[in-house]
Amino acid sequence: MKLRIIILASLLGLLSACSQLAESAPTLLPVDSLSTVIALTGQAIFATSNALTQAVPATETSLPTNTPKPSTPLPTVTPTFEAGFTEYAQIHFLSPGPMSSVVSPIKLQVMLVAGESKIVQFDLLGEDGRLLQRALKSVDYFPNGVFRVIDLSFEIRAVSEAGYIRISTKDKLGRIQSLNTMPVLLYSIGSNQLNQVGNMIYERTMLEGLEDGDDVFGGVLNLKGRFWPFNDQPVFVELLLSNGEAVSSRILNFEGIDTQSFETTLPYKVTEPTLARLTFRQDNPLINEPDSELKRYIYVYSLEVMLNP
């Protein structure tokens, strides 16, 4: 009798366990629903990832390769600079910035106002001034400047050396209208390490009360303004006639490379109204191989004035 009771209790336990397993078994989804479930799960994963991951700004942004219309606003840069320097340079670099480490080819991005000749010269120089590459580009004139992207290729023997990107424009008479330089570090191998251009988007020369095309009377051109030196070299100020001859010149010496005020005069003698180009220029003393035309120039700023007796 006891044996029957034990067997009966065991059977009842087994039946109860089977019933619980049947109740806890998962409900199978139809095959047609699997793709929908996978898609929804993927969206949830990406949404969670985006919510938990902070956005990291890109270290380098490629600008469009097409030329914008003249109404295109200039790049938004927020530099800290001396009061009075608010005019964009006729040639101002967007990338690379000063002392960037670059490998070949350099993707040069620049905003520039073409000279009267509408020909812009792009030079890449080695540390001694030797020419590594030169490109001449036709650029139409727009007052607000145009955007250009130029690839500059180079080969150097050493692993690295200092270099200079030099851009220049000319007027219709062949005189240098503007010239600007960006110092960089050239590497034969590796990857680009680009610095921001910062304050170098602004013109280094600021004149008070004198604009392009102004008339000058009395045999003296009075100059007053501020200058941001590239280096400790003297600044040459000249009045150039149509044939490139200097009718008047001055040398300005500055202490250090901080922005400084200046005031000087340029006496001249003419017998009739004469167009002249007022030019500020500074040299690069590290260049051992000067260009036959651009010399050792590291910076040139100019405007035209009408000289009257």
CATH number of the domain encompassing residue 215:
2.60.40.2550
Which of these three, 172, 203, 234, is where a domain ends?
Answer: 203
| pLDDT score of 199 | 87
Residue % of the chain over a pLDDT of 70: 72
In sign, the C-alpha dihedral spanning 283, 127, 88, 201 is negative
Q: Is the pTM of this model over 0.75?
A: no
Do the domain assignments include residue 26? Answer: no
Q: What is the mean pLDDT of the chain?
A: 80
Within this chain, do residues 85 and 193 fall inside the same structural domain, yes or no? yes
In the block, tokens 């520039």 appear at 112
Once rounded to an integer, what is the mean pLDDT over residues 266-283? 97
Within this chain, do residues 229 and 300 fall inside the same structural domain, yes or no? yes
224 vs 265: CA distance, rounded Å: 9
Do the domain assignments include residue 189? Answer: yes
Number of domains in the chain: 2
Do the domain assignments include residue 37? Answer: no
Within this chain, do residues 246 and 288 fall inside the same structural domain, yes or no? yes
Domain with 305, as residue range(s), is 204-309
pLDDT at 252 over 90: yes
pLDDT at 74 over 50: no
Within this chain, do residues 163 and 208 fall inside the same structural domain, yes or no? no
Do the domain assignments include residue 272? Answer: yes
| pLDDT score of 86 | 73
Lowest mean pLDDT among 6-15, 114-123, 161-170, 275-284: 6-15
Within this chain, do residues 138 and 227 fall inside the same structural domain, yes or no? no
| pLDDT score of 48 | 29
Do the domain assignments include residue 244? Answer: yes
